[in-house]
Every structure is written in C-alpha cells, then in structure tokens.
C-alpha cells in the first residue's frame, strides 16, 4: 500500500463521515452548518482531483522490456517473446504473454486485464478473437506460470510502438481511478511493453 493509497482512504472516509454529519445537521434544522460542511468537502475533493489529474497528465507511462513482469499484488503478466510476419494485408504479431503467480500459499486471479498493440499514431490494435486462447483471468496456483499467447493483425504502413497492458471496467476500476499516481487513475498512461 502506497502513501497515496492511504491518503485516498483517509480522505474518502473523512468525506463520508463529514457528509453524514452534514445530513444530521440538516435534519436538525441547522442548514447553514450542513451547507458549510458540504462546501468544505467539495473544496477538498476539487483540490484532490485537480492534483490527481495534473499528476496523471504529466506522469510518463511505465515502459517495460520483453521479459519484465507487470504485477498486481502477487499476480503478474509479462511478455516473454514476440514475433512478426509480413502478410499481404499488413503484419501479424504473435505475442507470448506470460501469467505468473508469486504467491506462496493462495491461488491468484486477476480480472479485467486487457492487452492491445498501440501504433505510434496512437491507434489501438486488439488481439484476434480466438476461442482457444488462455483467458487472462485463469486461476493460478501458488508459483504457477501459464502461457497466454495472442495474435494481432496490424495494417500495412502502421508502426507498432508496443504492447499495452491495462485493466478495464468492473469493480476493479474504483478506487484505482481516484488514487494519485496509480496506473489506473484518470488520464494516466497505461503500461507499455516495447517489442523491439
């Protein structure tokens, strides 16, 4: 847990308690006092989110090399290899993703993991759908490593910058979206793995 996680937790709990106090004050007929509390919570929240957005906008994306792991607690994903082959329609990239558990006693699983290739022009190239592909939310036993390869079609003329590893949607979105300097925070650039 980072200091920013603790700061968010403290401010979130303080805001909840303050809003409950404001509601009680309003029910007791002390509207001016309730309004003052709500106004203070709003000012602190606005200041916090301004800092969050500035930090996210200026923070560089985390750049990994082939072989590096991108971990969330004891669950990790990484690229163990990548190959490309020219086709008549462009280039096929075969990227070998590796899922790994660093846990010693418990099974691990990570939900809402998304991968795609990003071009230098910012375009996104999703993996080719494959019903036989190992899902990224596969349950891993302690110390287990599983290969999860994906194929990508990139049109002719596109230059691939790397493979992006991100988390999308679901319950995992909150509170990460609101934690300063967290990779999942608003406007923060996702981790990219250089395939060169």
- The pLDDT mean for the chain works out to 92
CB 108 within 8 Å of CB 139: yes
In the chain, helix, strand, coil percent, each to 5?
30, 35, 35
pLDDT at 138 over 80: yes
pLDDT on residue 168: 75
Q: How far apart are CA 52 and CA 46, in angstroms?
A: 10
Tens digits of per-residue pLDDT, 7-63? 999 999 999 999 999 999 999 999 999 999 999 999 999 999 999 999 999 998 889
CB 97 within 8 Å of CB 151: no
For the CA atoms of 176, 166, 65, 121, what is the dihedral angle to 10 degrees? -120
Q: What average pLDDT does the segment 110-128 reach? A: 93
Place 187 in a pLDDT band, splitting at 50, 70 and 90. confident
pLDDT on residue 30: 93
pLDDT on residue 171: 56
Between residues 184 and 32, which one has the greater pLDDT?
Answer: 32
CB 152 within 8 Å of CB 98: no
Collapse the DSSP code of 160 into the 3-class scheme (helix H, G, I; strand E, B; otherwise coil) and give the result: strand
Note the CATH number of domain 63-194. Answer: 2.60.40.1240
Tens digits of per-residue pLDDT, 76-109? 999 999 999 999 889 999 999 999 999 999 999 9
| Cut 0.85: pTM above it | no
């Amino acid at each position: 847990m980072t200091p920013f996680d603790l700061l968010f937790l403290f401010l979130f709990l303080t805001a909840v308690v303050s809003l409950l106090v404001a509601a009680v004050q309003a029910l007791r007929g002390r509207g001016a006092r309730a309004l003052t509390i709500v106004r203070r919570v709003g000012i602190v929240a606005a200041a916090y989110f301004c800092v969050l957005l500035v930090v996210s906008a200026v923070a560089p994306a985390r750049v990994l090399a082939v072989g590096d792991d991108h971990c969330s607690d004891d669950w990790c994903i990484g690229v163990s290899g990548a190959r490309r082959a020219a086709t008549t329609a462009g280039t096929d990239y075969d990227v070998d993703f590796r899922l790994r558990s660093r846990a010693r006693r418990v099974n691990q699983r990570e939900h809402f993991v998304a991968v795609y290739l990003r071009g230098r022009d910012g375009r996104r190239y999703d993996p080719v759908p494959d019903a036989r592909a190992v899902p990224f939310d596969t349950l891993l036993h302690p110390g287990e490593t599983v290969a999860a390869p994906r194929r990508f079609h990139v049109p002719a003329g596109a230059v691939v910058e790397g493979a992006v590893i991100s988390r999308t949607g679901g319950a995992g979105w909150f509170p990460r979206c609101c934690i300063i300097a967290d990779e999942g925070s608003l406007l923060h650039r996702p981790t990219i793995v250089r395939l060169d």
